Chain A
Amino acid sequence: MLQYLLIFLAGLAGSVHCVGMCGGFVCVLGKDSRGPAASLRRHLIYNLGRVTTYCLLGAVVGTLGVLLVGHDGEATATSLAQRALAIASGGLMVYIGMQFLGLFRGGYLRGPGFGGDILASALRQLVKAPGAGAPLALGTLNGFLPCPLVYAFLAQAAASGETLSGLLTMAAFGLGTFPAMLAMGGIGLWLRPAAPSMAVAADSAVSADPLSVRIDWRQYSLCIAGGFIILLGVITFARGVLPMSAHLHGL
């Protein structure tokens, strides 16, 4: 369980990152005319859709991990494959974590070629649509937007080598992002007219030079998230490198 707590905390700290990309949608997701409870429901539905997507992705990569390494015992060819997968996933997580710390800015990990721009532009028309279906659709499709944070935890889920633990990894991460996204929604409701400019400000903070003096709370939080991801990455990496008898599996 410690592992999932770590992931939850990493998600919590890392969710400041989400504010940059997904925060725009959340801010304008709007309030329901039927009162704050209905508005809250709208945002919860949105987040439910988003986390469901993460869960499925986690379960899929977890299953792929199973298919790749199998359930066999140690000292077989599949155990070598498992180690290789752990090393690769751990390496990827460390790399992404370092990006959060402001290193390797040049090679910023971009989404796969699914066309995040098209998806984002298509999502824009969903935010204002009424009914419960729209926020659900928005959240579900939103989950597919390219995001380095999601990739980092997907790598972790793949290395877990089990469908259920892959799912739980992503669920823990998704739940970790809940508070920040809900808070963003709340801020969006109160600061309605100022919302677009806020989203822009958040974006510019992402692109700011990490070495500049202007390191704000956001940057700190991203550093914490990066630290968590690196820690998880190192543990995963170690699982591949160290002898199996060290039994870091329990972590």
Chain B
Amino acid sequence: MNPISTCSHCLLAIGRLGQEREVNGEKHAFCCYGCCLAYQVHHGEREEPDAALLLIRIGVGAFIAMNIMLFSLLLYSGTFGVEDGATAHLVHSLLWILTTLLVIVLGGPFVAGAWQAARQGRLTSDTLVSIGTLAAYGYSAHQVWYGAGDVYFDTVTMVLVLFTLGRYLEARGRVQAARSLAPMLAAERAEVRAVIDGSDTMRPVHTIQAGAVLRVLPGERIAVDGVVVEGRSECDEAVLTGQSEMQVKVPGASVHAGSINGAGQLVVRATTDGNATRWIQISRAVRSALARKTLLGETVDRLAAAFIPLVVMLAIGTFWFWSGRVPFEQAMLIGLAVLVVACPCSLGLAAPLATSLGIGIAAQRGILLRSGSVLERLARINAIAFDKTGTLTEGRPKVLQVSTQDAAEQQVLLHATALASASEHPLAKAIAEAGRGLNTTAASEVRAHPGAGISGRVDGHIAAMGSVEFMSAMGWPVPASLQDGPMESTHVYVGWGHRVHGLIALADRLLPEAAEAMTALRRRGTPVLLLSGDREAVVARIATTLGIPEWRSQLMPEAKVAVLQDWAERHGPAAMVGDGLNDGPVLAAAAVGIAVGGATDLARESADVVLPERALGNLLWLFQLARSVRESIRANLTWALGYNLVAISLAMFGLLQPIFAAALMAGSSVVVVSRSLRANHRASSAPAAPIVQTAPV
């Protein structure tokens, strides 16, 4: 992926009309003139000459503009005497010279933008500004040359100044939209404090390799995945896990890139390379999400592209209409007002701004969206299907119960753990987990019997662990008291000395937040479906516990796709929530595929949304966010279209001076930006999905 596909200033996607420029020795890309302007104004603290250049240009432009306005004001106020033609001509000539300078200084960027677009066969708002100001300038110059009539150099001046100011203000607003995302997107460029030979050296994060030792100061963002070697602190991992509580970090604890260190200083040993952390992956994912155009954005862009030729035609038509009825100058001013008041800028801003705000807000809760169009689809979702294992349950079996016969529970666990620690099987891992802390010695002569069990020598005698069939194959009888274990659980028998001594029952446990999420969905009346490859009894029990009315069990991945599609036909667009490990096809087939959990490889293309582990509670919040983004876009579009309609009508009827038209147009973009920012503020301060305290589990 091209590393600079988003604007260096506002972080929005760069369209075909991006500008590339070197600032302070670094290559940057900007989506528009305003962003280029604002970026240089705000990144000039290092006293770099080329950063100051643009500001000098504006300052000098302002100086010239002020002189033009001064003389124009004096001219209008009659200070020079109305009858005195010679003085007036002198002042007009002076204004001509000043305006020529101004058109070069402030008009240059607009003309350059229009030219760039023209070479691609397109018209942009730069084209409108260029045509308008150059027409007024040319006409006024002609007037001065022949020493006749009024001049409109002040109009040219004000249009240029207001448009430049408008572009700058718009860019300032846009950057606020992306401010929350800035540290995430800068992840690849972060610098870390490497401890080399006892002293700290600043290094770019991508040069850090696993095993390097780094120092993290209080308040700094941790840039590597690693283990704490020294120090004690608390870390804010909200951006990775969505959990707002600070996580305590002591030596031995693992820290994650992207989390923010609290009050203590930490020394961390990296466990992965600096450019392979989950944080960097998130950074790349968000960057590419921002760079992708949304369906709606694409439509609006096409609309705006068609809009500009229409405006040019309207302006010409208006001019032609009025030129037969009023003096030439007046007809020209009316045409000029039509040109400058039509503002596709606010139209073009309406969708991408709100969308990137949405992506940013979600990312702050650790929720990754594949692209802006995912938000559009999320807003249309009517129903949600869930996978069971790893989504509603922990996805890992846990020891539920240990039953014994002629042995102590600890003895059973001791033998089981000794055998289990030699195996990678999920059940063995769960048993080893349960037996952690017991003083076990590892078994010797361990033999795994795939699909059946495991045997070995513990404390000098043969021990075995496995299914009831495995025990019979060993020739060890299962006592009657151990024949039955808890329902819907997996049974593992443990024996030694030619006898079965214990039964360990294991089961996958329901996530507490699953119940909360289901209750919240039920309250909203959203249809919910449970899809699982598991046995009927297990699925039925989970569905009953969670209050899910519809479920399907023993489904192969392909069958899940068919069931989901069938179900979606009845209930409308459906989202699928899964762990992304074995339900890739169904996630891809759903209207929106939502993968839960850190286990998922972020590069996996099948999921549209990646929720952090244990973040089901944020599911409803995400839907609300998507809907509020959609509302914000709709309101913006209505506003921008309505505004243009009214403004163009006023201008066509000759009711709008070009200067006011330019001021209105500069205002409209600013209004759209600030509207979106307000919506952003409301959405991000909204609480997460209602937390239900009395979960029916």
Residues on A facing B (Cβ under 8 Å): 49, 52-53, 55-56, 59-60, 63, 66, 121-122, 124-126, 128-131, 133-134, 136-141, 162-164, 167
What 9 A-B pairs are tightest by C-beta distance, nearest first? A137-B59, A125-B44, A163-B77, A56-B66, A129-B52, A140-B63, A133-B56, A137-B56, A164-B79
CA distance A137 to B60 in the complex (A): 5
> Which chain B residue lies CB-closest to A132?
B60
Residues of A within 8 A of B16 (CB): none
**Is B73 close to A, CB under 8 A?**
yes
CB pair A125–B77 under 8 Å, yes or no, is no
**Is B265 close to A, CB under 8 A?**
no
Known contacts A134-B52, A141-B59; A52 and B79 CB within 8 A of each other:
no
**Is B67 close to A, CB under 8 A?**
yes
Residues of B within 8 A of A136 (CB): 56, 59-60, 63
**Is B47 close to A, CB under 8 A?**
yes
> Which chain B residue lies CB-closest to A138?
B59
CB pair B70–A167 under 8 Å, yes or no, is yes
CB pair B77–A49 under 8 Å, yes or no, is no
Residues of A within 8 A of B217 (CB): none
Dominant SS among interface residues on chain B: helix
> Which chain B residue lies CB-closest to A130?
B49
Rounded to whole Å, the gap between the CB of B79 and the closest CB of chain A is 5
Known contacts A63-B77, A124-B45, A126-B52; A52 and B59 CB within 8 A of each other:
no
Rounded to whole Å, the gap between the CB of A196 and the closest CB of chain B is 14
The answer, among A52, A55, A125, A163, for a CB contact under 8 Å with B55, is A125
> Which chain A residue lies CB-closest to B44?
A125
> Which chain A residue lies CB-closest to B169?
A115
CB pair B66–A164 under 8 Å, yes or no, is no
**Is B62 close to A, CB under 8 A?**
yes
Residues of B within 8 A of A162 (CB): 77
Residues of B within 8 A of A167 (CB): 70, 73-74
CA distance A151 to B425 in the complex (A): 80
Residues of B within 8 A of A124 (CB): 44-45
Interchain residue pairs with CB less than 8 A apart (14): A52-B63, A52-B67, A53-B62, A55-B66, A125-B44, A125-B45, A125-B47, A129-B52, A137-B56, A137-B60, A138-B59, A140-B62, A140-B66, A163-B73
Residue of B41, B44, B47, B59 with most chain A CB atoms under a 10 A cut-off: B59
CA distance A193 to B626 in the complex (A): 56
Q: In chain B between 51 and 81, which residues have their CB closer than 8 angstroms to a CB of chain A?
A: 51-53, 55-60, 62-63, 66-67, 69-70, 73-74, 76-77, 79
CB pair B66–A133 under 8 Å, yes or no, is no
Residues on B facing A (Cβ under 8 Å): 41-42, 44-45, 47-49, 51-53, 55-60, 62-63, 66-67, 69-70, 73-74, 76-77, 79
Residues of A within 8 A of B47 (CB): 125, 128-129
CA distance A126 to B69 in the complex (A): 24
CB pair B74–A164 under 8 Å, yes or no, is yes
> Which chain B residue lies CB-closest to A45?
B63
Residues of A within 8 A of B58 (CB): 137, 141
Rounded to whole Å, the gap between the CB of B10 and the closest CB of chain A is 16
CB pair A137–B55 under 8 Å, yes or no, is yes
Known contacts A66-B77, A164-B74, A164-B79; A49 and B52 CB within 8 A of each other:
no
CA distance A122 to B44 in the complex (A): 7
CB pair B56–A131 under 8 Å, yes or no, is yes
Residues of B within 8 A of A121 (CB): 42, 45
Residues of B within 8 A of A131 (CB): 56
CA distance A130 to B56 in the complex (A): 10
CA distance A96 to B46 in the complex (A): 37
Known contacts A125-B47, A125-B52; A133 and B59 CB within 8 A of each other:
yes
CA distance A167 to B74 in the complex (A): 9
CA distance A228 to B657 in the complex (A): 41
Rounded to whole Å, the gap between the CB of B592 and the closest CB of chain A is 41
**How many A-B residue contacts, CB cutoff 8 Å?**
94
Rounded to whole Å, the gap between the CB of B311 and the closest CB of chain A is 31
Residues of B within 8 A of A128 (CB): 47, 52
Rounded to whole Å, the gap between the CB of A209 and the closest CB of chain B is 34
Dominant SS among interface residues on chain A: helix
CB pair A60–B73 under 8 Å, yes or no, is yes
CB pair B77–A134 under 8 Å, yes or no, is no
Instruction: For the A-B complex with A129-B52, A129-B56, A140-B66 known, give 15 more contacts whose Cβ atoms are closer than 8 Å.
Output: A52-B67, A53-B62, A56-B66, A56-B69, A60-B73, A121-B45, A122-B42, A122-B44, A126-B59, A133-B59, A134-B52, A139-B63, A163-B79, A164-B74, A164-B79
CA distance A58 to B53 in the complex (A): 29
Residue of B47, B56, B57, B60 with most chain A CB atoms under a 10 A cut-off: B56
CB pair B77–A137 under 8 Å, yes or no, is no
Residues of A within 8 A of B51 (CB): 125
Rounded to whole Å, the gap between the CB of B105 and the closest CB of chain A is 10
Residue of A130, A137, A141, A164 with most chain B CB atoms under a 10 A cut-off: A137
Known contacts A49-B63, A52-B63, A122-B42; A59 and B56 CB within 8 A of each other:
no
Rounded to whole Å, the gap between the CB of A42 and the closest CB of chain B is 13
The answer, among B49, B73, B76, for a CB contact under 8 Å with A129, is B49
Known contacts A122-B42, A129-B52, A137-B59; A52 and B77 CB within 8 A of each other:
no
Rounded to whole Å, the gap between the CB of A47 and the closest CB of chain B is 12
CB pair B70–A55 under 8 Å, yes or no, is yes
Residues of A within 8 A of B41 (CB): 122
> Which chain B residue lies CB-closest to A128?
B47
CA distance A167 to B70 in the complex (A): 8
Rounded to whole Å, the gap between the CB of A161 and the closest CB of chain B is 11
Rounded to whole Å, the gap between the CB of A206 and the closest CB of chain B is 25
Residues of B within 8 A of A125 (CB): 44-45, 47-48, 51-52, 55
Rounded to whole Å, the gap between the CB of B365 and the closest CB of chain A is 30
Residues of B within 8 A of A138 (CB): 59
CA distance A164 to B71 in the complex (A): 10
CA distance A55 to B67 in the complex (A): 9
Known contacts A126-B56, A138-B59; A52 and B73 CB within 8 A of each other:
no
Residues of B within 8 A of A139 (CB): 63
CA distance A167 to B76 in the complex (A): 14
Residues of A within 8 A of B74 (CB): 59, 163-164, 167
Residues of A within 8 A of B63 (CB): 49, 52, 136-137, 139-140
> Which chain A residue lies CB-closest to B53?
A129
Residues of A within 8 A of B42 (CB): 121-122
Rounded to whole Å, the gap between the CB of B663 and the closest CB of chain A is 14
Rounded to whole Å, the gap between the CB of B109 and the closest CB of chain A is 16
CA distance A129 to B67 in the complex (A): 23
> Which chain B residue lies CB-closest to A55?
B70
CA distance A122 to B51 in the complex (A): 10
> Which chain A residue lies CB-closest to B69?
A56
CB pair A59–B52 under 8 Å, yes or no, is no
CA distance A125 to B69 in the complex (A): 27
CA distance A193 to B278 in the complex (A): 48
Rounded to whole Å, the gap between the CB of B531 and the closest CB of chain A is 54
Residues of A within 8 A of B67 (CB): 52, 56
> Which chain B residue lies CB-closest to A133?
B56
CA distance A49 to B63 in the complex (A): 7
> Which chain A residue lies CB-closest to B49?
A129
Residues of B within 8 A of A53 (CB): 62, 66
Residues of A within 8 A of B77 (CB): 63, 66, 162-164
CB pair A49–B59 under 8 Å, yes or no, is yes
Residues of B within 8 A of A164 (CB): 74, 77, 79
Residues of B within 8 A of A66 (CB): 77
CA distance A60 to B52 in the complex (A): 29
